[in-house]
């Protein structure tokens, strides 16, 4: 990858490091780069290696950016896909039904490759790519199930895969004044992890609300 004289553009920073758009002789690419020092840097380097392994498993899956390699163990290079995230899209989807049908097909293909994304509730992780087609990005928290995986890994993979499908249903019908398609009900089955998280959130809200009411009465 030969970088041109054009400056890199910082797109953002997250728990793994910094994300840049970099101009090369072959066109723009996305580079996820480790930052920080000491133990934190070592942890981020390990996370980036893990994400690189996930992208290798997903090579050739439609709707997932291609991976060009891991440079020096600290720079993950991905194909650049133009288009806003689902959160940033400033207008309604041209064909919402088609978009979510294609998104479901991508999610299922990712699962078939032995990877569950785990963070599809964040609209930033879904791009509205060229032609209005969906693209999945950011597999930093993904769970992979390699051949011969043990019982714990298989269970975790199933749970996270269910979280992916539940997120798809929620996004499809979010703020939409329409009944749920009966065929989509099969994809909405809250996982044990989600049920536990929901219980914790509800309990926390009740406790904080009671505390707020007591403070107001004083």
Residues assigned a catalytic role: 119
Identify the CA nearest to 103 among candidates 134, 129, 124. 134
Helix (H, G, I), strand (E, B) or coil at 125: helix
CA atoms of 158 and 184, how far apart (whole Å): 18
Query: 14-18 — which CB contacts under 8 Å span 24+ positions?
Result: 14/140, 15/44, 15/47, 15/140, 16/44, 16/47, 16/48, 16/51, 16/140, 17/44, 17/48
- Taking CA atoms, 80 is separated from 65, 108, 135, 198, in Å, by 7, 23, 11, 36
């Amino acid at each position: 990858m030969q970088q041109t004289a054009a400056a890199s553009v910082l797109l953002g920073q997250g728990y793994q490091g910094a994300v840049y758009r970099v101009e090369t002789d072959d066109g723009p690419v996305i580079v996820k780069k480790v930052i920080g020092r000491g133990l934190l840097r070592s942890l981020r380097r390990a996370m980036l290696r893990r994400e690189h392994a996930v992208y290798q498993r997903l090579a050739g899956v439609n709707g997932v950016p291609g991976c060009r390699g891991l440079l020096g163990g600290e720079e993950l290079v991905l194909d650049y896909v133009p288009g806003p995230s689902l959160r940033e899209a400033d207008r309604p989807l041209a064909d919402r039904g088609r978009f979510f049908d294609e998104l479901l097909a991508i999610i299922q293909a990712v699962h078939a490759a032995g990877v569950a994304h785990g963070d599809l509730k964040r609209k930033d992780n879904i791009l509205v790519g060229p032609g209005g087609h969906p693209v999945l990005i950011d597999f930093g928290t993904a769970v992979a199930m390699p051949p011969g995986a043990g019982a714990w890994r298989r269970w975790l993979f199933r749970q996270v895969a269910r979280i992916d499908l539940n997120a798809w249903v929620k996004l499809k019908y979010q703020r939409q004044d329409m009944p749920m398609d009966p065929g989509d009900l099969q994809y909405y089955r809250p996982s044990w992890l989600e049920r536990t998280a929901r219980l914790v959130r509800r309990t926390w809200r009740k406790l904080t609300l009671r505390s707020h009411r007591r403070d107001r009465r004083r």
